[in-house]
Structure 1
Amino acid sequence: MPFVRRDADGVIDAVFAHAEGEATEELPHGHPELLVYLGIDANAIIDADEWLRADLALARVIEDLITILMDKGVISFTDLPPGAQEKIIARQGLRTEVSYVASLFGNDDENFL
């Protein structure tokens, strides 16, 4: 955790990796005062995180839609631009790996003691 030094008004005026001189107070990395000192807008991070989650969910929907259209013969894989083909292949590979690892552990109902 970072160590902070405060000015006469109690406002953080310096941050150190280790305790130094008057900087003996430790704060957790996400502490609001530390974020203010570093100029990080916590609300912007939360908003960006929500957008990221929405984008990831939409990416999955689009990936599934492409798969359905290919299965029905509406489009073929080669109709997609090379960049899209590469991304789909990479995601399918990741999904296969994750599915394999998940299958090793089963679900909670199967592993209940």
Structure 2
Amino acid sequence: MKRDGEGRILAISRQAEAGFDESLPADSPEIAGFIGGNGREALASTDLRLVRVLEDVIDLLIARDLIRFTDLPQEAQDKLLQRRTLRAKLGGLDLLDSDDGLI
């Protein structure tokens, strides 16, 4: 398990990994609280980033003529168009640090 400077759980792992210096029983109330509370927040945060990654993958597949936008179900088309419109209004949403050098 990893903790922050204030002792809050940041991450848990089933296997021994570097930086995971502490272990607790799986039925620990602290772990249950993390999974039930902060774990959900962390999952939601990664879900948002994953959505953007999927949008980029779809755009790439379309750009390379591997799929057509109209091949997607209508509901997916509507959601993608809505997100593109919102992102354009917000001036784009950069989920990757510009220092990463990633596209």
Q: State the TM bucket, normalised to the shorter chain.
A: 0.5 to 0.7
For structure 1, list consecutive stretches of 5 or more residues without a partner in the other structure.
Answer: 1-40, 101-113
CA shift digits 1:3-23 (9 cap, x unpaired): xxxxxxxxxxxxxxxxxxxxx
Q: Please state how far the C-alpha of 1:95 moved relative to its aligned partner.
A: 0.4
Corresponding position of 2:51: 59
Deviations 1:42-92 (A, max 9, x none): 632211110001111111110000000101111010000011001100100
Task: In structure 2, list runs of 5 or more residues that go unmatched.
Answer: 1-31, 93-103
**In 2, Cα distance between equivalents of 1:62 and 1:74:** 15
| Pair 1:77 & 2:88 matched | no
Pair member with larger Rg = 1
CA distance in 1, matches of 2:80, 2:37: 28
1:94 to 82, 86, 97: 86
Higher strand share: 1
Residue 48 in structure 1 maps to residue 16 in structure 2:
no
Where do 4+ consecutive residues of structure 1 move more than 3 Å? Answer: none
TM-score (norm 1): 0.49
Identity %: 35
Corresponding letter in the other structure for 2:42: E
Tell me the TM-score normalised to structure 2 length.
0.54
